[in-house]
Structure 1
Amino acid sequence: MVQAIFLLRFAAGAALGLASGAHGVAGRPGLLTAALGWLATTWAVYLMNGVADVVEDRANGKARPIAQGELSPRAAIAVVRILCVAGLGFSAATSPAQALLAAAMLGVGWAYSWGPWPLKANLAGFAAAVITLGLLTYLAGWSAAGGGRPTGPVVLFGLMMSLWMGFGGATKDLADAKGDRLAGRKTLPVLLGDFRARLVMAVSASSAGWVFAILFAIRAAGFLPAALVVLAGSATLSLIVLSRVSRGSRSAQRRPYRVFMATQYCAHIALFGCLGPIWSL
């Protein structure tokens, strides 16, 4: 699911670039090569995180393969190296700009999970890294489509969905407080406690949804349906995170996060609908 949403972000950036009148750096083969490079890059970042999160994942009872002992950290690191080479190789074969973006993605991913002061360990670092990873992905799609200097809708949509990653993505910490506390991570539930963390999540998500809807109505009305999806998702997330349906079992605590993920998918589908027949790209 994580790789699927990253590919959707990449596709959104590429579709916006093509809709602006740009042409892919090498047509369809170039876009496919760039997409493969980005898939390998994001896969490497996710696998890095799986190795780094073993302590908290086991404490939280997560089913990730490294935490479950189905994949050894040593084997995972070997795969990470292969994926890094593949990601940089495919990206470099597309264009120098793609190679730079892939290298930046890997650098931020490393700093998030493995750096000397891992960004995942504190709230500000988490938000900065997650938002940056989102922005880089939209830029990579835009660049692969030959979009040139980012302008207009790609900036608004990329910024909206990247900030949504930071605001909405934090809801996963509700179910992970035990392991995060054990690992020394300073997430909202660890810092504020469950009740106040939920209030902050509800207010921030709702505020973001309204701000995005207003900005799109003023600056990019043609893409307003995508912003309205985020607005609806933010309202739903706010209601669920404050209600009893997101308390109790781990599965219940993850309901706000599921709303966050569903909102991402629906917003991208809405964007593609606004762009018209993009499936021929």
Structure 2
Amino acid sequence: MVTQEALPHRVPARTLLKCLVEARPSVLAMYLLRFATGAAFGVSSMIGGSVPGVAGATPERTGSSVARGPGGTAEWLGWSAPQVLGGAAVWVLAILSAYLLNGVSDVQEDRANDSRRPIAAGELRPESAAAVAKAAAALSLVGAVLLGPTLALAVAAVLVLGYAYSMPPLSLKRHAVGAAGTGVGAALLSYVAGYASVAQGTAPGTGALVFSVVMSLWVGLVGTLAKDLPDALGDAAAGRRTVAVLYGEPLLRRMMALAAGALCGGLWLAAAAVAPELGLAAWVLTLGASVVAALALTHVTRGCRPRKRRLYRAFMASQYVTHLCQLVSVGVPSMVSS
């Protein structure tokens, strides 16, 4: 194992790489997918009624000089691409900052749970991680301000939420409701940031709202429980009051299966009644929820920590595929329209 004393002699690039690992690339990628899905809903909204050359479009609704030009949809998409890419970079920096702060604050729990992440393993100094977190937060705020007020508010909100989750005096991570609420809030803000990077100042459609709410609740009601299950020992040692610590494994598993089923039902109801564009996502989430429920209620994920982690992997895989399918459902028609 690399000692703490050896770390100052490492080159900055090495430290940045360890910070990236600490912030969990798979989680960063998921936040980027949420942002992209929000942006896709924004593109669909603007092309469907706010871009010249499309029925019902008016220059006033877009508010851009590009929208008034002769290029129509294709020109508008070309104009918005840098906004989306810049917004995505800003959003990833903000999430990176929040997760680095979490790693700094979670050393006791992570070591008790035998985590292999760099800070807990002694490969990254908490001071170095905190310094990178501050720099990432500053860069994300400056970039967001340049890109628009709604994105700037979303970035500021997620940074505040990340700090409140990890750091005193609130330390929301220590309580079941606080942890779940933070997960829901951060996910919702990701969709808002993505949508605002394309369609700032316009209201999202029903499909966008339902998908964002359901998949954010998927994080808070399913993902939080799946994460807490294998970490119960370390959380108890650190004084956290999670569902796993307070009520035990059996109740947590039943709650997870019930929440997964209920959220699928909500997505299906919306797809059938008001938002048919959610149909593919509803099918995929149902499959994922079935796997999560089966793992939660059988012995496949009982016993050692690696077996319990299978539930979290199933939760992550389900939301990855659901978002990718929703991107196809919304993005492909938008590209065809262009």
Structure (1 or 2) with the larger CA radius of gyration: 2
Alignment of 1:190-229 (within 5 A): 190-229=245-284
Kindly provide the amino acid, as one letter, of the partner of residue 20 in structure 1: S
Which residue in the other structure is 2:15 paired with? none
Alignment of 1:122-141 (within 5 A): 122-141=175-194
SS, match of residue 120 in structure 2: coil
Q: Structure 1-normalised TM-score? A: 0.95
**Deviation (angstroms), 1:276:** 4.3
Alignment of 1:156-171 (within 5 A): 156-169=210-223, 170-171=225-226
SS, match of residue 199 in structure 2: coil
SS, match of residue 46 in structure 2: coil
Contact 2:295/2:301 (8 A) holds in 1: yes
How many residues are matched?
281
Structure 2: distance between partners of 1:24 and 1:17: 11
Q: Does 1:37 align with 2:90?
A: yes
Of 139, 160, 183, which residue of structure 1 is paired with 2:238? Answer: 183
Which residue in the other structure is 1:13 paired with? 38
Which residue in the other structure is 2:6 paired with? none
Structure 1: distance between partners of 2:168 and 2:186: 16
Alignment of 1:1-281 (within 5 A): 1-21=26-46, 27-147=80-200, 148-169=202-223, 170-277=225-332
**Deviation (angstroms), 1:24:** 6.9
Kindly provide the amino acid, as one letter, of the partner of residue 258 in structure 2: V
Cα deviations by residue, 1:126-185 (Å, 9 ceiling, x for unpaired): 111110000000000000012522332211111011000012212111110000001111
Contact 2:214/2:266 (8 A) holds in 1: no
**Deviation (angstroms), 1:205:** 1.7
Kindly provide the amino acid, as one letter, of the partner of residue 2 in structure 1: V
* Unaligned runs of at least 5 residues, structure 1: none
The 3 A distance-change label for structure 1 pair 241 and 279 is farther
Structure 2: distance between partners of 1:25 and 1:106: 30
Q: Hey, which bits of structure 1, 4+ residues long, moved more than 2 A?
A: 22-26, 276-281
Q: Structure 2-normalised TM-score? A: 0.80
**Deviation (angstroms), 1:58:** 0.4
Cα deviations by residue, 1:194-224 (Å, 9 ceiling, x for unpaired): 1222112212222222222222221211221
